[in-house]
Copies of this chain bind each other. A is one copy, B any other.
Amino acid sequence: MPEMRPPRPGELAIELPDQFDASLYFIGRIRTPWKTLAECPKSTSLRRDVEATVEVDPRYILALKDVQLLSHLILLYWLDRSARNLVLQAPSHVPEPRGTFALRSPVRPNPIGLAVVELVKVDGSKLTIRNIDCLDGTPLIDIKPYHASSDSVPDARRP
């Protein structure tokens, strides 16, 4: 079970449901240079320079057919060290506590991370990518093709 960390000032924890509703397979691992949360890059521009590797479980190697034709992918991964019970969070970069669903924090009821990554190379069941910020060894749960027609909203607004 992930750690249920005590809330910081302004944060609020809830009771989670007694039961789960669905289950996931880990389909591989993401290899990055970052072994601790403190080392993970905070800025997008920093992580864009660094190459990382996605090691897909050989069981799924045929599912990678044609992936090399894509310039960008969406990766979903499991943030297995994250608490799941906070609905209000007080990260240091925002002045007031914000709702979990208005944040990209790893702490959420289902701690799924999402990154739009540039695909550099495919070699068997290994993908070389750029633009990820997760810890080394993070479990992979999905790879999707990025479709600019539906996934790209250059003028989306946020606070």
Contacts and interface: CB of A to CB of B under 8 A. Distances in A.
Interface of A: 12, 14-17, 20-27, 44, 56, 59-67, 69-74, 76, 78, 80, 84, 87-88, 97-104, 108-110, 112, 114-116, 131, 139, 141-159
A146 to B, nearest CB: 5
Nearest to A59: B14
29 contacts: A12-B62, A17-B59, A20-B24, A21-B25, A21-B78, A22-B23, A23-B23, A25-B109, A61-B87, A62-B87, A64-B99, A65-B97, A65-B99, A66-B98, A66-B99, A69-B159, A73-B101, A76-B112, A76-B114, A101-B144, A104-B145, A109-B142, A110-B141, A112-B112, A116-B150, A116-B153, A147-B156, A148-B158, A154-B154
